[in-house]
Chains A and B, each alone.
Chain A
Amino acid sequence: GESVGLHLPTLSVQEGDNSIINCAYSNSASDYFIWYKQESGKGPQFIIDIRSNMDKRQGQRVTVLLNKTVKHLSLQIAATQPGDSAVYFCAEKRREAAGNKLTFGGGTRVLVKP
């Protein structure tokens, strides 16, 4: 079935380096994408979102890139800090979905080494 998935389950990064987390989606009807950060024992926390009519969006230390041609989404974290250690999920909302149902990918664990 159609789904949102991730390429890398775990990413180790040195403190201060940049992190790139990738996500693939298969439904061309997806029109909205979100990245969430989930720390241990907590609920997902919104990081940044992007609509399908955009290919790049920047926030504070984070950038999301959307490549609709290959159905690929990435999250870039600049100058990764220890507090960035968490599991990151991409999620998508489909144009035809009733309400605001989100479909989540499997997650990437980011480990920041001091």
Chain B
Amino acid sequence: NAGVMQNPRHLVRRRGQEARLRCSPMKGHSHVYWYRQLPEEGLKFMVYLQKENIIDESGMPKERFSAEFPKEGPSILRIQQVVRGDSAAYFCASSRLAGGNEQFFGPGTRLTVL
């Protein structure tokens, strides 16, 4: 039973480019969460999605960031016109139930903006 998959594991972008981060939840999980982690800090919640729905995006920056979880395929976190401050590790987690407490995390995507 494969865990949460994220790709790419490492992504390098120049300022102004777009970054696309992908997350495939565990089999049977239909709830996806994105978190951002700066070096030596805890994870910060960004967005919670179910299939085709954004449930809570209270942690998402208002501009340049968007997320989707289509009916088919992985969840995508998209960052447009990246800036150096976007450099961080982005983690995806999934859970099976809407009220389920346990979230399983993927290995993360480390974004570096030059």
Contact = CB atoms under 8 A, between A and B. Distances in A.
A101 B45 contact: yes
A98 B48 contact: yes
Interface residues of A, number: 25
Interface in A93-111: 93, 97-107
Interface string A27-54: 0000010101000011111100100000
B66 interface: no
B25 interface: no
Contacts of A105: 42
Contact of A99 (B42, B98, B102, B106): B98
A106 to B, nearest CB: 5
Contacts, number: 71
Contacts of B98: 99-100
A89 interface: yes
B100 A44 contact: no
B4 interface: yes
Contact of A102 (B31, B55, B103, B104): B103
Nearest to B102: A46
Contact of A106 (B41, B48, B55): B41
Contacts of B103: 46, 100, 102
B44 A104 contact: yes
10 contacts: A36-B105, A49-B102, A91-B43, A98-B48, A100-B33, A100-B98, A101-B56, A106-B41, A107-B40, A107-B41
Given A34-B102, A106-B42, 5 more contacts: A34-B101, A36-B105, A43-B108, A93-B101, A104-B43
Interface of B: 4, 31, 33, 35, 40-45, 48, 55-56, 58-59, 91, 93, 95, 98-108
